[in-house]
Amino acid sequence: MSSEKEGQKAAATASAMPAISAPLNIKNYLNLLFYILNIYFTYGIGSYGWFGSQTNGELSAIYQTLVTPKDVAFSIWGIIFLSQGIFAVVQLLPRFRDTDMVQEGVSYYYVLVSTFQIIWSFAFGYNMIGISLAFIVLIWLSLASIVYSQYHIDVENKNEDDNNNSKGNNNTNSPMMEFWLLRFPFDVHCGWLVAATALNASVLAVKMEVTPDTEITMSLISLCVLYMVSVWVTFALSDTGGPNITIALSISWAANWIHNQLLIPKNSISSRFDDNTIIGIRNAYKIVSIIVLIQVMIRVVYGWRKSCLYHRVLFMIPFINKDTTNEDAMKYALELSIDNKYSDCDMDGLSSLANNGKSNSLDEEEKGLIH
């Protein structure tokens, strides 16, 4: 008996002691280092033409395509690099450095993302479009690996929380904080790369001087790919992990600015395609942009309807709207509904709880407490 008490005392003492943070490791240092290298070379070559290269803007003007978005669309890179810079710093902090989202989710994939992006910048800047296409695909695959790994870590953690068997360290940070600091930088980058990869493929087609019909076909294939990816990340993911709205919105952003660019097409586009073709492609991208937004709203509403909050509100409505002069009974019913936690939002549980509340009220009435 005494040994059991000593064990409980030791456990209580251990839980009261402050957790010792894990030391920084090679992954933490590499994430910061490669972020610095990535932004240095990507902006230096792409925006300023370092080392005798052409800038992205100059090459975009030379290889104008049916899926080239308006210049303002590329401002999303500011969001990407800013959010990844914040990630590179916060993942050094004690509360984030050893979380699964960083160590297993990002792992060494961000090193690959940065390495491939630096190589892509050189290849594209020196007009090696075929090589740049190969490396932009590798960038996207590396980002998809981060998104995939982090998504499944999030699902596992939520399942463990539901089973009251969490790993401790992974749940010290709020889901919202983990999303904005550790996941959003890669989700938005991955979403934009879907459109950028399609653009790079079309740039290669223009350089190879393919027929206008081939360019039209490629633009339609690109549109289908963008839409299919948006459907996948919006509806095909599990309810536990939820949809990846960031990727879907990035795709909608790209499609909208492709439409805007074709409102006043460049001379190189007008000379290769007739007005009806340009209007058709333009409208198709606009429609897809709108449809993706509608899909996101539908999935968000669907997710909210399945949430505990929705069922709590739904369960309380009959009590709130009930016409009764007995304040004690009303108060009892409201307290009963609010105090319940609804951990799994089971409607059978709600029904039994409502029945239990009614039986309790009847018991109270029988005892003369309700007249």
Q: Which residue has the higher pLDDT, 55 or 335?
A: 55
pLDDT at 6: 55
Residue 362 has pLDDT above 70, yes or no: no
pLDDT at 240: 85
Domain count, the chain: 2
Q: Is residue 281 part of a domain?
A: no
Q: Is residue 242 part of a domain?
A: no
pTM of the model: 0.80
Q: Is residue 284 part of a domain?
A: no
Are 213 and 354 within one domain?
no
Are 188 and 322 within one domain?
no
Render pLDDT for 3-15 as a digit per residue (tens, 0 to 9).
Answer: 555 555 555 444 4
Q: Which residue has the higher pLDDT, 367 or 58?
A: 58
Least confident range from 68-72, 147-151, 299-303, 353-357: namely: 353-357
Least confident range from 51-55, 164-168, 281-285: namely: 164-168
Are 183 and 315 within one domain?
no
Are 184 and 43 within one domain?
yes
Are 51 and 187 within one domain?
yes
pLDDT at 157: 87
Are 198 and 338 within one domain?
no
Q: Which range of residues forms the domain containing residue 318?
A: 308-366
Are 354 and 211 within one domain?
no
Please, what is the Cα angle at 361 between 359 and 365, to 5 degrees? 115
Can you give the three-state secondary structure of the chain, one letter per residue?
Answer: CHHHHHHHHHHHHHHHCCCCCCCCCHHHHHHHHHHHHHHHHHHHHHHHCHHHCCCHHHHHHHCCCCCCCCHHHHHHHHHHHHHHHHHHHHCCCHHHHCCHHHHHHHCCHHHHHHHHHHHHHHHHHCCCHHHHHHHHHHHHHHHHHHHHHHHHHHHHHHHHHHCCCCCCHHHCCCHHHHHHHHHHHHHHHHHHHHHHHHHHHHHHHHHCCCCHHHHHHHHHHHHHHHHHHHHHHHHHCCCCCCCCHHHHHHHHHHHHHHHHHCCCCCHHHHCCCCHHHHHHHHHHHHHHHHHHHHHHHHHHHHHHHCCHHHHHHHHHHHHHHCCCCCHHHHHHHHHHHHHCCCCCCCHHHHHHHHHHHHHHHHHHHHCCCCC
Q: Is residue 217 part of a domain?
A: yes
Render pLDDT for 225-259 as a digit per residue (tens, 0 to 9).
Answer: 999 999 999 999 888 889 999 999 999 999 999 99
Residue 358 has pLDDT above 70, yes or no: no
Render pLDDT for 15-46 as a digit per residue (tens, 0 to 9).
Answer: 444 456 799 999 999 999 999 999 999 999 99
